[in-house]
């Protein structure tokens, strides 16, 4: 088990480093950082001054070294656009994105696990067909359109909910629903298909042969095994939510990290772009590692080997 964690952990660290290098190369090679910083239309001498002053003329690996050093001590650079530490900007925006992501995932799990189980218990029934339809429709709907639809129905037509912004909890209802519907379909399909396969397995037949009650068999024996892949999927989906909420934040005008990334990209604000890309990678890698560990905890076959 310790070996397993060690191996996975070292891969995680290696990936993070590679991503940081790639990001650094991208933001310092593809774009001339001196120009970005000085601003477009700045005079040539000004650009050269900036270049020397901020060390953009030094060899790449030296620049990377400094950058890494700063990063490890918590300094993510200063935004070109707002002239503030990037760290502060991230800290302001992160709660919004985190709230959205975790709420959406929680809502999705809350709906999809019971629904998937019920659908698996009665395959081809009307409940099953409705469940599959929900999943299939959800996979075909772009999230920004879903958001707009919800706004149209619930904010404009019915006036139950506010249209945009993020000042009250009510403002979060529609965005969370939109995001939840985005991640729900793969989870519900996985739960359903997993349960269907498991309910046909030999060890469930053994459990029935022992005279265990139906709910014991479903909730104890079957669900336990069905949830193993759901954990991994949940972690991946959480990563997607954290990284992909750009469009939803845009539709609902929520000041989260996603919207920050978009603004930074449009403005060529390299430090912010760098920081967000690297942090996203860290989160993804961390979540994958977490899901591997959770898997090992749940599935004894991985743990005791």
Task: Map the footprint of another protein across residues 254-283, applying CB under 8 A.
Answer: 261-262, 265-266, 268, 273, 276-277, 280-281
Q: Per CB under 8 A, which of residues 48..107 are in contact with another protein?
A: none
Counting contacts by CB under 8 A, is residue 216 touching another protein? yes
**Judged by CB, which is closer to another protein: 49, or 279?**
279
Query: Given the rule CB under 8 A, which of 44-52, 106-114, 147-155, 165-173 is the region that contacts another protein?
Result: 147-155
- Radius of gyration from C-alpha coordinates of the chain: 24
Instruction: Give the position of tokens 């349960």.
Output: 195
Using DSSP's 3-state secondary structure scheme, residue 78 falls into strand
Q: How many whole angstroms separate alpha carbon 129 and alpha carbon 67?
A: 54
Q: Which residues contact 103 (CB under 8 A, 6 or more apart)?
A: 172, 176, 180
The C-alpha atoms of residue 13 and residue 252 are separated, in whole angstroms, by 35
Q: Which window, 47-55, 81-89, 111-119, 212-220, contacts another protein (CB under 8 A)?
A: 212-220
Which lies closer to another protein via its Cβ, residue 70 or residue 216?
Answer: 216
> C-alpha distances in angstroms, 21 versus 68, 239, 254, 281?
9, 21, 30, 12
Burial annotation 9-46 (CB, 10 A radius, 16+ → b, else e): eeebeebbeebbeebbeebbeeeebbbbbbeeeeeeee
User: Can residue 240 be called a binding residue for another protein (CB under 8 A)?
Assistant: yes
Of 49-57, 60-68, 85-93, 137-145, the window that binds another protein (rule: CB under 8 A) is: 137-145
Residues 218 to 237: which contact another protein by CB under 8 A?
221, 224-225
Q: Report residue 118 CA to chain centroid gap.
A: 27
> Which residues bind to another protein, rule: CB under 8 A?
11, 14-16, 18-19, 22, 26, 30-31, 136-137, 139-142, 144-145, 148-149, 151-152, 156, 201-203, 205-214, 216, 221, 224-225, 239-240, 243-244, 246-247, 250-251, 261-262, 265-266, 268, 273, 276-277, 280-281, 284-285, 288, 298-301, 304
């Amino acid at each position: 088990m310790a070996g397993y964690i060690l191996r996975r952990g070292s891969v995680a660290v290696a990936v993070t480093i590679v991503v940081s290098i790639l990001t650094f190369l991208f933001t310092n090679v593809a774009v001339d950082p001196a120009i970005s910083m000085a601003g477009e239309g700045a005079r040539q001498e000004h650009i050269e001054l900036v270049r020397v002053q901020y060390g953009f003329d030094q060899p790449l690996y030296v620049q990377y070294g400094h950058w890494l050093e700063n990063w490890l001590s918590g300094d993510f650079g200063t935004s070109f656009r707002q002239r503030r530490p990037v760290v502060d900007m991230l800290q302001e925006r992160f709660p919004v994105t985190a709230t959205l992501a975790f709420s959406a995932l929680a809502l999705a799990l809350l709906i999809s696990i019971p629904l998937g189980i019920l659908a698996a218990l009665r395959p081809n029934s009307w409940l099953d067909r409705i469940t599959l339809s929900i999943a299939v429709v959800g996979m075909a709907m772009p999230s920004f359109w879903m958001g707009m639809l919800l706004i149209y129905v619930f904010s404009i037509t019915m006036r139950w909910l506010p249209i945009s912004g993020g000042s009250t909890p009510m403002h979060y209802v529609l965005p969370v629903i939109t995001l939840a519907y985005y991640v729900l379909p793969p989870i519900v399909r996985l739960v359903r298909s997993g349960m269907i396969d498991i309910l046909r397995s030999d060890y469930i037949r053994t459990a029935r042969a022992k005279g265990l009650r139906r709910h014991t068999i479903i909730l104890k024996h079957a669900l336990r095994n069905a949830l193993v892949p759901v954990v991994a999927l949940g972690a991946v989906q959480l990563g997607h939510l954290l990284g992909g909420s750009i469009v939803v934040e845009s539709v609902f005008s929520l000041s989260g990290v996603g919207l920050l990334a978009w603004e930074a990209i449009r403005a060529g604000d390299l430090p912010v772009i760098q920081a967000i890309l690297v942090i996203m990678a860290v989160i993804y890698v961390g979540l994958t590692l977490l899901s591997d560990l959770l898997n090992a905890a749940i599935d004894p076959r991985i743990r005791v080997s």
